[in-house]
Amino acid sequence: MLARRIARIMVAVAAVAAGAVGVQITTADAAAPRTLYYDASKAAEFKADMDQAAAAWNASVSNIKLVAKTPAPITIVAFDGWPYAEPRGLGKGTIHMGREAVQDGFYPPRIAAHEMGHILGLPDRRTGLCSDLMSGHSSPTSCKNVKPSPKEAAQVQRNFGGATVAPLPSVIMEGATP
């Protein structure tokens, strides 16, 4: 057991050293996705939207897997305001699925996938493009895309690819951004 722990530490040190010079090292453990659990038990009418959002992220990023479970480090709650996310570390936090954005015509599965993007470490981009999930309310209400762009998926892949991650803001208020 001690020998195995020492071997893992040595591999981790080698990976950090190699990364400093631009070499990538992979191990068998690196191939297994990290499971992130989300609790949609308080999501009311948005539960199926959260499941669709999780499926979109699971199809786009290979080193994480979003799985429904109660309770979980990612919680989803429905409320009457505008949607926003409260990240509490990478892969943890609360998504507030606001009905106001739906009433304004935005697509609930897209809102769910967008807010999940914040929990996965992505900021708002406001590019106006439907193909950019993190464009939020700057894309038209007719946009039904729930999949992250290749650039967004690659960033989440990087976010969950290493041992150290940048701290996230405690609240990502959308203002008027689903």
Catalytic site residues?
115
- CA torsion, points 16, 21, 22, 27, in degrees to nearest 10? -30
Give the CA angle between residues 106, 109, 111 to the nearest 5°: 55
Are 170 and 87 contacting, i.e. CB atoms less than 8 angstroms apart?
A: yes
The DSSP annotation for 104-153 comes to TT--HHHHHHHHHHHHTTPPP-----TT-GGGGGGS-TT----SPPHHHH
